């Protein structure tokens, strides 16, 4: 049996979660539940669960406070939350899993199935530490975890020169020449990198402005990077790009 803890300040959500787990995942045992930070911290320390389903907003604080109270993380974590602004952006940055409220039965099943497959993931503590780095914005040097079917890549955002999409796939091009293929659309990363100095110059390209050498007006306009790579600029995005470059120009 996989010991599981549910921490949510909504009793109805806890009951729904327990019902779905009982119906679809008989191998999961809900050994404890809580609706606040203090009790949530205590039951995790007491039961040492393998899986924790954690709400963000609790009666006496947030789920993040529980994670900060713990010294180490040996469980698989899934956030279940309706809080979907900057916290979700930080969660995406760290490749942590979440299910949005109101809970959709099919999304819930998919999320739990994925968690069961990764229950032995030894990288969880690194993921959570990385999450706090971005959520609290304590450091200027940011990292993102790129997780595909083969590996988990811990990448400095500053080392990403640009991203290129191919339908539902996105390739990351790093300064050192490395390429990382991800099975997500470029729109997902556009949302994440919007505050990190990246610009969507074209439907298929997301560029780190740090690596832009110049904006050429020939042939409709294109960006030239420091490595001489040329990236297209769409007509409708050109004026916004020029405005941004004007602001950062010396």
Q: The domain that contains 205 carries what CATH number?
A: 2.40.50.1020
> Residues in the chain with pLDDT < 70?
83-86, 90, 93-95, 120-141, 247-250
- Domain boundary residue, one of 135, 153, 169: 135
- Domain boundary residue, one of 135, 170, 191: 135
Residues 38, 150: one domain? no
Q: What does the pLDDT read at residue 228? A: 94
* Residue tagged 């939350």 (tokens): 81
Residues 58, 162: one domain? no
Phi, psi for residue 17 in degrees, rounded to 5: -60, -45
Spatial distance between the Cα atoms of 155 and 164, rounded to a whole number of angstroms: 16
Residues 123, 176: one domain? no
Q: What does the pLDDT read at residue 196? A: 84
- Domain boundary residue, one of 77, 102, 135: 135
Q: pTM of whole model > 0.85?
A: no
* Structural domain span for residue 170: 143-248
Residues 22, 131: one domain? yes
Residues 9/35, Cβ–Cβ less than 8 Å: yes
Residues 131, 160: one domain? no
Q: What does the pLDDT read at residue 164? A: 97
Q: What does the pLDDT read at residue 24? A: 94
Residues 85/57, Cβ–Cβ less than 8 Å: no
Q: What does the pLDDT read at residue 8? A: 96
Please write the tens of the pLDDT for every residue from 119-129: 755 555 566 66
Say which residues have a Cβ less than 8 Å from residue 82's Cβ, sequence separation at least 6.
Answer: 100, 101, 102
> In whole angstroms, what separates CA 19 from the centre of its chain?
27
Residues 25, 109: one domain? yes
Residues 8, 60: one domain? yes
Number of domains in the chain: 2
Spatial distance between the Cα atoms of 17 and 53, rounded to a whole number of angstroms: 9
Residues 7, 131: one domain? yes
Q: Which two tokens stand for residue 66?
A: 């529980």
Residues 77, 156: one domain? no
Residues 57, 179: one domain? no
Q: What does the pLDDT read at residue 249? A: 56
């Amino acid at each position: 049996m996989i010991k599981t803890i549910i921490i949510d300040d909504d009793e109805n959500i806890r009951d729904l979660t327990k019902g779905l787990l009982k119906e679809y995942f008989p191998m999961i045992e809900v050994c404890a539940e809580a609706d606040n930070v203090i009790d949530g911290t205590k039951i995790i320390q007491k039961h040492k669960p393998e899986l924790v389903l954690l709400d963000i907003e609790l009666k006496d604080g947030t789920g993040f406070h529980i994670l900060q109270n713990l010294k180490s993380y040996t469980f698989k974590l899934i956030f279940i939350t309706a809080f979907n602004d900057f916290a979700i952006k930080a969660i995406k940055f760290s490749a942590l899993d979440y299910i949005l409220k109101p809970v959709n039965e099919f999304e819930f099943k998919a999320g739990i199935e994925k968690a069961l497959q990764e229950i032995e993931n030894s990288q969880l503590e690194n993921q959570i530490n990385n999450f706090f780095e971005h959520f609290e914005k304590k450091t200027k040097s940011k990292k993102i975890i790129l997780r595909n079917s083969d590996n988990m890549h811990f990448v400095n955002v500053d080392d990403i020169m640009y991203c290129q999409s191919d339908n539902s796939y996105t390739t990351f091009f790093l300064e050192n020449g490395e390429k990382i293929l991800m099975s997500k659309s470029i729109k997902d990363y556009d949302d994440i990198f919007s505050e990190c100095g990246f610009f969507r110059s074209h439907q298929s390209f997301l560029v780190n402005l740090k690596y832009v050498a110049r904006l050429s007006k020939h042939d409709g306009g294109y960006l030239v990077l420091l490595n001489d790579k040329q990236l297209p600029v769409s007509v409708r995005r050109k004026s916004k790009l020029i405005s941004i470059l004007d602001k950062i120009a010396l």
